[in-house]
A and B are shown apart, each in its own frame.
Chain A
């Protein structure tokens, strides 16, 4: 199975509400990254959090990392219709070189 698993698989909320997505992984990581993808296009990088960091903010985004539980969460505050997209977490496994493993993603739908 994949290294990263997102939860929930799909999320539907009203504009203005907060959206929380979770990611769990299996092995030790160097860092964890969150990406957004709109309708089968390329991925857009949101945040990179390193294994020695616990929380990071970027605008309306807040990411936490709990290495003891091997989990991370992405919080989008005051969501907008434009936030409608799929969100993926990605972890880097050190296998001699680094291999980036993506989770299955959370599909977020923000209703206007």
Chain B
């Protein structure tokens, strides 16, 4: 069974631009969660989607948004990029809720904002 895939793997943007990251979960998984990882803040929860509905959201500004499609694939969007948005963005999928079930992580998208 294929694992969680994320595209692109690396991305370089400039301040003020917007970016869309994509995550394809393991087949059959309905929950997708997104995390931001930085050296200073560590791993921080962004949001979780289940059956196309956002079920939970972390403490991030409204510039961070996401969505999930009927095939469970998910995208996250960051608008008006800031230097501090440079990070590794990880998505994880699970059968049910990411909080009660094992999460399987993708390799991440490394975003650099110049």
Contact = CB atoms under 8 A, between A and B. Distances in A.
Taking residues whose C-beta sits less than 8 angstroms from the other chain, chain B's interface range is: 20 to 34
Contact of B102 (A42, A48, A94, A103): A48
Interface string B46-78: 001010000110100000000000000000000
B32 interface: no
A61 to B, nearest CB: 14
Contacts of A104: 42
5 contacts: A2-B42, A48-B102, A95-B56, A98-B56, A99-B56
Contacts, number: 74
Nearest to B97: A98
Interface of B: 4, 33, 35, 37, 42-45, 48, 50, 55-56, 58, 88, 90, 92, 97-108, 110
Nearest to B3: A42
A92 to B, nearest CB: 3
B103 A40 contact: no
How would you classify the secondary structure of chain B's contact residues: helix, strand, loop or mixed? strand
Interface residues of A, number: 27
Contact of A97 (B55, B90, B107): B55
Nearest to A102: B43
